[in-house]
Amino acid sequence: MKTYIILIVIACFSLVTSCKKGALDEQVYSSIYTEKFYKTAADAEAAMTAAYGPMADLYNTAGTCASDFSSDQSYARPVVGRDTYALYNYDPNYTTQKSFGRDFESPLAIWRSCYAGIEKSNWVLERVPATNMDVARRTAILGEAFFLRAFYHWTLTKNFGDVVLKIHSSSDPASAYAPVSPKADVYKQIFADLDSAVADLPGYSASIQKGRPSKEAALALYAKAALYGENYSLSLEKAEDVISSGKYRLMADVRDLYSVPKEDEARQENMWAFECESTTPGLGSQIHSLWGPRSSNGPEYLVQSFGSALVYQSFFDSFNPNDKRRQLLDTTYVGKDGNIVHQKDVDVATPQAVLLKKYQDPNSNGSRGATNIQILRLADVYLIASEAEARLNGGSSKAYRYIDSIRHRAGLNDLTPGLSQDAFIDSVLQERSWEFFGEGDRWYDLTRTDKFLTVIPTAVNNIYPVRTPSAKNKYFPIPLDEINANPGVKQNPAWQ
């Protein structure tokens, strides 16, 4: 017996020795890593496509709803932690969202997706210039990467204020950590990136791939970022560059902007969007199903919808009855049985529920709709130009001309003449509210102008009878996860 034990020990020792000599040595047969990638045109295209990838996470929900549910236009039913936006009781850890598995709907998702997109854009900007490929296409790819990096940084700073400015790839662990930069420095970089994007991107044509920006889309983002950054002369200049280009024009019927069958026709106004597809595989969004009637009872809206998001009655009532944009809201709908569902029965929690119709797709694949999520469109540029002009020169004839272009399309008369500068700017902000509801825009208009503290308490109902934001809610808190992981990141001051 002892002999067998000795033999087994010897055998095991021999096996361990042989393992040490090479049996466990890793032999790489195939690998793709940074030094061997970015060599061909296909590599460059793949890298550029990857930089758009985080848009799917951003616009699954958080990109519009985290802000819209905070605004005076719309709200979420108080389930799975979505009431934290209307009540402003979220915390830096986004504890409630995490507890319900809804961090993908929260500002945490905005932070994660934007920095993922910035990282991928940085790799493109650093490596693609040396790629052996068609020069014109390489230049356009670099323009797209500059555009995306600017867009991601702008999305971060309008949500969090001072953020990490990341303009180099994380090629080693040390370079992955960077401190927070002042908002002014972030905007300076955004403008520099957009200068490069405008120089490199082609002008709009039908040949541009869907979901990719044109030179004019970069100018539109430039105009909007400059408006937010309070550089009004720069904002006006870039907005007028878009308008004078003649590349885009307003759709005659505002409702057609949100029609799936008229999607390509609407590109004459819709300059850049997150392109949704109802087919799989394909990029979709949860947003469509949130806005439709509960229990999938509205076939005109979506095949499968949950009634999770609604519009305040006060916002519906703010419209002139002749305003065509109000037709993108409704207080009744036709149910599956063909009967009209009246407002008191739209939602069980309130008799004043109002439905939003911008994300309808009656041919959806279950809850996956194909209505695009608009990010930049020409109407926005007109109102940016109107506001920027008014902030520089008051209610001038030019400022009136730009806002009246949008009012006329909506079926309204000219804006009241002779308004003071402040009254005119308030009118532009109100016009923006009527034009861009449900598109993730209103909350930022209220926060950038510091009007949220007085406007929000007036947007209430029996679900949210009291709403009292505080000064710190101008920005969302930087996620605690990031602060714990990166010693250079400090919480924005109001949340400390």
Taking only the tens place, the pLDDT of each residue in 292-316 is 999 999 999 999 999 999 999 999 9
Taking only the tens place, the pLDDT of each residue in 92-124 is 999 999 999 999 999 999 999 999 999 999 999
Q: Identify the weakest region by mean pLDDT among 211-225, 275-289, 392-406.
A: 275-289
Taking only the tens place, the pLDDT of each residue in 179-210 is 999 999 999 999 999 999 999 999 999 999 99
Distance CA 293, CA 348 (A): 11
Distance CA 402, CA 56 (A): 33
Which own/partner pairs from 275-281 qualify as long-range (CB within 8 Å, at least 24 positions apart)?
Answer: 275/210, 275/211, 275/372, 276/368, 276/369, 276/370, 276/371, 276/372, 276/373, 277/368, 277/370, 278/361, 278/363, 278/364, 278/365, 278/368, 278/369, 278/370, 279/365, 279/368, 280/365, 280/368
Q: Report pLDDT for 14.
A: 42
Q: Report pLDDT for 176.
A: 84
What is the DSSP pairing of strand 329-330 with strand 355-356? antiparallel
Residue 392's pLDDT band (boundaries 50, 70, 90)? very high
**What value does the mean pLDDT of the chain take?**
93
Residue 398 scores a pLDDT above 90: yes
- The predicted model gives 427-434 an average pLDDT of 98
Please give the share of the chain, as a percent, with pLDDT higher than 90.
Answer: 89
Q: Report pLDDT for 198.
A: 98
Q: Report pLDDT for 27.
A: 54
Q: List the Cα angle 388/251/276 in 5-degree steps.
A: 95
Tokens representing 291 are 């806005």
Please give the share of the chain, as a percent, with pLDDT higher than 70.
Answer: 93
Residue 166's pLDDT band (boundaries 50, 70, 90)? very high
Taking only the tens place, the pLDDT of each residue in 320-351 is 999 999 999 999 999 999 999 999 999 999 99
Residue 358 scores a pLDDT above 50: yes
Q: Identify the weakest region by mean pLDDT among 17-31, 232-246, 352-366.
A: 17-31
Strand residues in 315-445 grouped as ranges (E): 329-330, 333-334, 340-341, 355-356, 373-377
Looking at per-residue pLDDT, the higher value among 25 and 434 belongs to 434
Question: For the CA atoms of 496, 107, 183, 454, what is the dihedral angle to 10 degrees?
Answer: -80
User: Which of 4, 13, 172, 74 minimizes the C-alpha distance to 456?
Assistant: 74
Residue 167's pLDDT band (boundaries 50, 70, 90)? very high
Q: Report pLDDT for 290.
A: 97
Q: List the Cα angle 227/112/130 in 5-degree steps.
A: 80
Residue 26's pLDDT band (boundaries 50, 70, 90)? low
Q: Report pLDDT for 3.
A: 41
Q: How far is CA 6 from CA 12, 13, 41, in A?
A: 10, 11, 62
The helices-and-strands tally (H runs, E runs) of the chain is 19, 10
- The predicted model gives 448-459 an average pLDDT of 98
Q: Report pLDDT for 404.
A: 98
- Is residue 330 within 8 Å of residue 357, measured between CB atoms? yes
Residue 21 scores a pLDDT above 50: no
- Is residue 275 within 8 Å of residue 211, measured between CB atoms? yes
Distance CA 94, CA 146 (A): 31
